[in-house]
Structure 1
């Protein structure tokens, strides 16, 4: 059944349009009620990124939670993984992150975490949606049972210490000149400080948020500024986070971008050699490059593929017992440490391998030559273009042409009205033609 509010990663949309104060307040009321179990005082932690609209949503959530008797602990600007971690460590019933991740400032979103620090299941989200559209008056607590709100002041230090503890005590980043790009987002304070505490020489960009410039020409989705800075400063490495710092990409000393697939290859091999993999393999999505799969096969490691979305990667990791997984976009999950993607922890793990091997990042982080991969988006105004018989035939024909040479992945976006068509093969002309045929068919069906 289609859901009214929740998408693939919480609730997301244009601030003050889809994500209004009223919607946020009802989320707080509904989520607060959904997680009330037992007679104890119920508590929720709320973090946010640096968008202007995050203030509005934050206080609306506070009103919603306190109105149903839930106490609120306010964290201020903090990365998404910090909210997940603090939900567990502070023994809260629920965690909330206000962020639209890598989207521009006009958008915002609400991500929810259960008391175990994991994102909510589809079933729990459906229950919250039902409560959101219920009778608001019936939800309200009695006057003496209203919740209280309190701001927590030491959360930055707590998160920095947690991130550092994912490394052995003998690991240091001394001698590394690191450019960190915080996307003018949630990690603009904690990420540079954590790198400095580990001994790196730190050069900062994307650390001047003004409410309107999050992800604007900076961050993991716009790495050009980072690449320029790395070359200008002759740095050893660049690290780019996104707006809520749950993903990251690397830029090597030559200014070349290293995506999440290469990062997973680096970690998989290093952890295999150190005996740290819980199982001989990792988990990634259908979008990860075929080159990664072939490289892992050569190491004797499996690649488990899931649907797109870090929540599906985490679910498979928990189901099958893997402790490393991620996405090509830079969401990397280390279940030994975290319940969600953590850009800072991912960067730490890569830098630890660089220091251990003692070679330039361009050598350490280039483990395989990726297969030519083409990704195109086709926008549609309504309906279900993928159900059209002509589209189905185009997909079948293109799949047959790639058989034995590559693969094709077609999926509707979970956050916008587009069909994403991805193809990859060892022959660039072949994959271009296959993707083009499918996109043309989808465009005709969507017209």
Structure 2
């Protein structure tokens, strides 16, 4: 994953080793150490990066995102890229629901890492980018980006990237309704015996593995998935984060329905019980949709409407088009009056690099300063801004600040 700065204190080193070697062993104790390290990281991109990685591994995602935000704001392009500042940061943004920001970081990481031959970082960025593309419904582009990631690494040596790539391919398959293919990809993030291929990256896939098993319609897949879920629960024991606990409960709810439908609801309710799960909006919306579908099939239509409406709003806000369409169809079946697809956000029409340039320009940076950060010429920066203004509905650079304070803030 990376390393702490050489002058790190004993507390830093001890916490780092515990977090990156086994984030699930005595997780609560390790997470409790993070706040006291935060003050020591201020103003130091490498320490902020290390703090962000530790927080991300421990599913302390809000802290991770804050640390990565500060690290990227302070990092200068002429400095070496802090180790780990690419993939881990982008994944934290994906999980937090800031998908445009994640893609921007992937573009930035790719540009810097490619220039110095860091293939693993480039591959990880491609896998994250592929995941976001799949979530947005562009399955073909997601598969192409995944191919780029896999071409750069040896799956046996870069197991995290290999797992992320499998998850991206599975997400693309789900977006197209190809659940058999999705299950095949997700099954490969666990060994034949059921152990995680990667000690950290495999576990978050468990709920989607269960969903794909149920929806592909093969009883053998459901039985296999049930064994995997319980093996994961046993391995994590009492050290699962609230997020992983919710994913396991969602998986149990999905797997209970084919054989014991009445047992599904308590699991779905348990997966939604902790208010902190709002920090992972897409995962929570998926569970809301699962619960709503279960309620409607039990003819509890009035109860299904609230979770349906909430799930649909989240999917729309995130730009998860395939999931929004599924929620919209379910909402109509439940008698809700829902509008058609929302008009696309103007920012969605910009490339990740254009969004990054717009964000920096809105903060008052000149074309030369932006170019120095992004390894672009001032002329290229100006060209990107010129092409972006009509898409954003503005005519002057001064208007960008209003966008940052308004709609742009939601995606940056």
TM-score, with normalisation over the residues of structure 2?
Answer: 0.30
Larger proportion of helix: 2
Larger proportion of strand: 1
TM-score, with normalisation over the residues of structure 1?
Answer: 0.28
